[in-house]
Structure 1
Amino acid sequence: MENDVKPLLPAPSQTVNEGDEILARAKGYSFRLYDKVWVLDKNTSVYLRKIRDYISGDLLHGFLKTLSFYAANLSAGHTSELADGLLHFFKTTGADAICEIALINYRASLTTETEWRLGRCRTLLRQWHRLGYPGVTDEVIELLDQWRLKGSLKGEVVKRMDPVQGPLTDIELQGFNEAVVRAFELDQITLTELAMCLVISNTGRRPVQVSHLRVCDVVSGKNLKGEPFYGMNIPRAKQRTGFRASFKFCAVTQDLFAVVKAQAKSVILEAEHCLGFELQEADRQQIPLFPDLKAMSEVETPVGFREFTHTDKLHSRSAEFTETIQAVANRLGVHSERTGEELNISSRRFRYTTGTRAAREGFGELVIAELLDHTDTQNSGVYIKNIPEHAERLDEAVGFQLAPYAQAFAGVLVDSEKSAKRGGDATSRIRTEEGQGIGTCGEHGFCGANVPIPCYTCMHFQPWLDGPHPEVYQKLLAERERIKEITGDLQVAAILDRSIIAVADVITRCEKRREELKKRQEVTTDA
């Protein structure tokens, strides 16, 4: 049964007239009772035009007064959900009042999966009645109190490992991250887009949390043992403490830290250029990591900038993160090996992936709740009750089946060493452990990879047509099996899967290329 919000008694200062300005819970935002749109924070606007098609007079007044109570005391998102819930009630029933018959008809129109909608309405109506505004009778509350309503289903896409909406497989996750990094190296995406994508995919945090990050939140140092650590103090969401009032440290890899640190340095320059004046170092630390430069351009003085830092107005909208990762994935054509289609990407899928990977590693509800920044464990249990297995047995045949879809090989096949970029440079030659040449590296910079296995997923790799790629493939399969037997952990062995699939792709390409050359030679001979 859906939990109701504990009622808060409005203070005398919250009793307002229709034309008075009402302060939203988020600092810097206000509205008037009969405004058609209430802007409650950077990410949330409540549109009230449509509700007026169904209700008016005292009923409308009671609704708006009740909703304004939520807007002033609770989160903007919750307020918006309640408004949408009541609108759905009136749309579905066609009623012009809140009465027992309308509620009975509404419940009859819902299914087991959608009964949560009535639960949401009940939350609003109970508070409406408590506050004493017109529109909700004692009889309506008595009826609602008699019903046991089912809440929304949680974690269904996680349980069935939905290939479109559920958690990503390790291959899909790695494929997205590699594609994003590769795109940045090729100047196909900006540093900001790179940072947005990697922070969301690696931390599993909500977009609204990432949007509230600032330069000062990017931290590094040494622990008590003298070991370096890297991380971000990420603002918490869905808390009653307000904007940037509480934080949770999230450790990140050194590579991700380097990207985020570069983003921080970049936005300082961007912000000061946009502002038209330099900031003191303390003020620079308060610059959003992902700023709204249009809003920034409206700041006229350093004092004005400091006033804005108490609000979220200089931060990017959280929707921009979802839009960015979706646009980048579509632009780069990242595919799923499960569906064969372009990968459907959303920030929620990355959260599901973080929780699912933690469950597979044997972590319990408390740890998963901590990783996902949940206040309690009621939503983290779904990950451990039905742990899906991503890393199924990968044999010789399966590797070749997945190769066309996973697109793990990002380099260019060449007919011979002479045809390769830097083919005349002996230092660019890549060999197996036995000393056999398999390809050429087209990059002049330093690479610390443990060649040759990582080379197959690198865009600078140029495998030779006559390279011993089948032998590499068989060795990788054997190594995967050996690791699994030693560790007893299929997930550890699965680290090699993307490289295995990339080698399979190279072998397939070599076969096709040989057929092309053979046909060309036959045509030349006939001529």
Structure 2
Amino acid sequence: MSSASKLQTSIDFGARSIEPAFNTKVLTWSGSTVDTSGKKWRISTRRTLNWELMHLRPGTTLQATLAYFRNCLRQLSDDTIFGKFKSLNTIFVTAIEANFDISNAIKIDISFYETIRNCLLKKVSPNTVRSHLQTYRNWYLWCTDAEFEGFDEEIATVLENRIIGGNIKGAAVLRNDPNEGPLHQIQFDALTARLRQAEENHTLSIEILTAAWLFIIYGTNTRNILLLNEEDLIKTRLIDGSEVYELRIPRIKKRQQQERADFKTRSLPPGIGQLLEKLKQQNARQRRLALLDHNPTRFSQPMFRRKKPYAELLNTEFEAEAYRQPSIWFNQALAHVVEKLELKSADGEPLRLTPRRLRYTFATRLVQEGASPMELAEALDHTDLQHVMVYFNARSDAVIRLDSVLTLPLMPVAQAFMGMVVPDENQAKRGNDPASRIKFLNRQQHQLKTVGTCGSFGFCELAAPIACYTCFKFQPWLDAPHQDVLDWLVSEREKHLARGVDPKMTQIHDSTLRAVNEVIHLCQAIHHNARDMP
């Protein structure tokens, strides 16, 4: 086989690609179209990626690298891509000189990083070494997130949490990176509150809503969720009539030959279990409409299911997986959550939400709740305790004071209050029902005062008014004593701090604090606008 034929074969990686319906024509960031079917990719008038110069033999590493640069074409300038190409090639040349077999990605372990770093430091400046290693890390993380064969999540976690040029440290986690590290408590509260609201309002599709919740409550990798089948949802009805849900989550091991051969069974919150049941019902309706999906022995029943099968998988050895969503769908689903729910970062830009970041958040929150290294490794399904220690190095039990949050204008990220301020009871939904009034006991004045109206006709088991301010059915009155509520919450928080109470208990009402503060600001803004009106 000629070298050109070998390259073409490696380019065509079929069902395992994140783009199963593969198109070698790529629309670039600049708007031009690049043909990526050959050995030389003309990416601009000045730049060409010559794959004959890339020191990679056909194999899993080359397959993933080709896909990585196709993705770069869609997002980066030609100069940046060309620089990455040269830098990554330098890494591969150095690896070959150090007798690494890099054609199979499974052989690129953590010792690879250390060896390459030491070799490069003998040849080029430290700044150049850092640049090359940063390119290598970005490449490895992307290939891992895209689920290419041989790229290991545990190695990716170690790489992600290194400071390039230094010793092992928790880069994204330890420095609380605002875009890559664990979500801040305010961001996490906003995300979960908006997801609950989206379920009530049907703002998000069932499959997207369910996927987001699974990443949050389990901190899994994408492939764990991708491989879920409908049969993995287990519901047990107890003697008292209540229902208990569990989920069998497929384990991902790099040397495991057969997928879905090993599982971890996790308990499932009832609300998420009910969502999964709805998703199964939706899948059943889609199956009835699908002309091909009439034989349950022909196709697997994935929990996250495409409406139409991949045509190129039909009548092949991969046919059973024709209805399973690709990995990229889950990243797109989280991006859709951010866009639809208008989630913001601290700088006001759209929140960066990825499965990896939710995994970091899951792990960090477990540590803050007192999990041991062994417990965390088990929850993350890690095989080595050293891979979880970064979360313990990053642990901080210090509880921040909220003075800045309560005195400065609210940042876009807070989003704690989701209800609607109404002028008075007469203009509130259910305003004619005295039972809808939400009351607050002013302990200093020994008076019970009304702060708003509940717009829900159902029975609520949550404690009013604490839970009300973060509920989207709450309608606070414009001139109600919200400041009294805020003063009491802050006073209680300060008492907890002074007594040295467990930080988890001290922070339990922080989202309510932010919500009450937001209501106060909204009421002030309404009064201010009313005064300015002619």
Q: Taking structure 2 as the reference length, what is the TM-score of the superposition? A: 0.71
Contact 1:113 1:152 in 2 (8 A): no
The correspondence of residues 2-401 of structure 1 with structure 2, limited to 5 A, is: 34-39=9-14, 41=16, 43=18, 49-50=38-39, 54=50, 63-64=57-58, 67=59, 88=86, 91=89, 108=124, 110-112=128-130, 114-115=132-133, 155-221=170-236, 229-241=244-256, 242-275=258-291, 286-295=300-309, 308-309=319-320, 312-336=321-345, 338-388=346-396, 391-395=399-403, 398-401=405-408
Query: Could you tell me how far apart the structure 1 residues matched to 2:470 and 2:138 are?
Result: 48
Helix, strand or coil: the match of 2:247?
A: strand
Residues 329-379 of structure 1 show CA distances to partners (whole Å, capped at 9, x for unaligned) of 12321134x434432212211111111112222323222222222222232
How big is the shift at 1:113?
6.7
Helix, strand or coil: the match of 2:124?
A: helix
The correspondence of residues 395-414 of structure 1 with structure 2, limited to 5 A, is: 395=403, 398-401=405-408, 403-405=410-412, 406-414=414-422
Q: Percent identity?
A: 27
* 2:517 match: 504
Amino acid at match of 1:403: L
Helix, strand or coil: the match of 2:176?
A: coil
Larger Rg: 1
Amino acid at match of 2:381: D
Amino acid at match of 1:463: P
Helix, strand or coil: the match of 1:173?
A: helix
Amino acid at match of 2:370: G
Aligned length: 449
Contact 2:418 2:471 in 1 (8 A): yes
* 1:468 match: 481
How big is the shift at 1:171?
2.0
Contact 2:226 2:304 in 1 (8 A): yes
Amino acid at match of 2:261: A
Amino acid at match of 1:111: V
Unaligned runs of 5+ in 1: 1-16, 22-30, 122-148
Query: Could you tell me how far apart the structure 2 residues matched to 1:441 and 1:86 are?
Result: 56
RMSD, matched Cα: 4.5
Query: Could you tell me how far apart the structure 2 residues matched to 1:364 and 1:78 are?
Result: 37
Are residues 449 and 244 of structure 1, via their aligned partners in 2, closer, same or farther at CA, if it must alter by over 3 Å? same
Matched, 1:480 2:493: yes
Are residues 462 and 246 of structure 1, via their aligned partners in 2, closer, same or farther at CA, if it must alter by over 3 Å? same
How big is the shift at 1:486?
5.9
Contact 2:88 2:135 in 1 (8 A): no
Helix, strand or coil: the match of 1:436?
A: strand
Are residues 169 and 226 of structure 1, via their aligned partners in 2, closer, same or farther at CA, if it must alter by over 3 Å? farther
Query: Could you tell me how far apart the structure 1 residues matched to 2:68 and 2:489 are?
Result: 51
Are residues 355 and 90 of structure 1, via their aligned partners in 2, closer, same or farther at CA, if it must alter by over 3 Å? closer
Amino acid at match of 2:219: G
Q: Taking structure 1 as the reference length, what is the TM-score of the superposition? A: 0.72
Amino acid at match of 2:9: Y
- Identify which range, 229-238 or 107-116, moves more after superposition: 107-116
* 1:127 match: none
Unaligned runs of 5+ in 2: 23-35, 42-48, 73-82, 99-115, 140-163, 442-446
Amino acid at match of 1:63: R
* 2:105 match: none
How big is the shift at 1:261?
2.1
Query: Could you tell me how far apart the structure 2 residues matched to 1:219 and 1:469 are?
Result: 45
How big is the shift at 1:473?
0.9
